[in-house]
Homo-oligomer: A and B are copies of this chain.
Amino acid sequence: MNIDMIEAAAERLSGVAIRTPLLSSPFLDDIAGRRVLVKPECIQHTGSFKFRGGWSAVSALPMADRARGVIAFSSGNHAQGVALAARRHAAPCVILMPSDAPRVKIDNTRALGAEVVLYDRETGNRDAIGAALAEERGLTLIRPFDEPQVIAGQGTVGLEIAEDARREDVAEAEVLVPCGGGGLSSGIALAFEARAPGLTVRPVEPDGFDDVKRSLASGGIERNNRTAGSLCDAILTPAPGEITFPILKRLARPGLVVTDDEALAAMAAAFARLHVVLEPGGAVALAAALYHADEIAGGTVIVVASGGNVDRALLIEALNRFGG
């Protein structure tokens, strides 16, 4: 993993990914007690930054591999990102999902042209089923975060932040990033190291799923006790990755943790003040900026709002409870 891979991914994504701006609102600055700049990856294709990694990985494949197709294990944003990237490359795409995944996610992924293969979470072995399918059809597996070309794609978020921060005269700032397996955080951190050394990543996780925060503190990979039980489903992973963690250990500052309620309140703030839709996992970094200001340094904080794929019932709950 190096900056050249990220720059190359940026070239392949140029004119394809949405070039998201940095948003701001004096009302959010007042809550946070400092300037807040928000990168809304919720308006990225398929509603999250995951499209970048998916496109980066699919577009990096040799033609022959691409023609045979790709496979991903996901019921969420990674599935949609890979599916759209594959379709626009005319590459076959298989997404392996648990049979109890929400109907709307199955339907959306199919609508993006992917073949959805369902397995039983209780009786089926996802990895074995996936390996058999990949073998049989010659598919390339695209992992959600521990995959160099995926990290390179997510790192393009960091290149864009570096460019826009420079234009805003922000030379030093903490950059809060929603963090599951660490693909986005580590890609951004590598981009900053090369292009904006005054910007540093702080991973943000949901309460009870702070594996990255604990791993950064202990210096070794720590695991979560649970794999479910937070509204922030997009960023619940058992542990940081083998590739992503060493990068974070070298480059990231300490992690931050927010509650589900803080994530919902940040969704309501993003609705009222930025006019974007965030999902809970996509709102954790904004929540940290707004409600954990005393754990953050500097006169400006930059926040990645990583995704917006939320059911309307949950958005309505956020607005009703925290809409002010």
Contacts and interface: CB of A to CB of B under 8 A. Distances in A.
Interface of A: 15, 18-21, 23-27, 30, 40, 42-43, 45, 47, 84, 108, 111-112, 167, 268, 271-272, 274-278, 308-309, 312, 315-316, 319-320, 323
Contact of A276 (B30, B43, B272, B312): B43
A286 to B, nearest CB: 14
A21 B20 CA distance: 7
Contacts of A23: 18, 43
B40 A43 contact: yes
14 contacts: A18-B23, A23-B43, A25-B45, A26-B84, A27-B108, A43-B43, A43-B274, A47-B275, A271-B312, A272-B312, A312-B320, A316-B316, A316-B319, A316-B320
B308 A275 contact: yes
Nearest to A22: B18
A107 to B, nearest CB: 10
Query: Copy number of this protein in the oligomer?
Result: 2
A40 B308 CA distance: 15
Nearest to A309: B275
Nearest to A113: B26
Contacts of A27: 108, 111
Given A21-B21, A24-B45, A275-B278, 15 more contacts: A19-B21, A25-B45, A26-B84, A26-B111, A43-B43, A43-B274, A43-B276, A272-B312, A275-B309, A276-B276, A276-B277, A277-B277, A312-B319, A312-B320, A316-B319
Contacts of A15: 167
A271 B26 CA distance: 24
Query: What are the 8 tightest A-B residue pairs by CB atom distance, in nearest-first order?
Result: A275-B308, A275-B277, A42-B275, A312-B319, A312-B323, A18-B21, A47-B275, A316-B316
B26 A112 contact: yes
Contacts of A111: 26-27, 30
Nearest to A46: B25
A275 B316 CA distance: 14
A81 to B, nearest CB: 13
A310 to B, nearest CB: 8
Contacts of A47: 275
Nearest to A41: B275
Contacts of A108: 27
Contacts of A320: 312, 316
Contacts of A84: 26
A266 B2 CA distance: 43
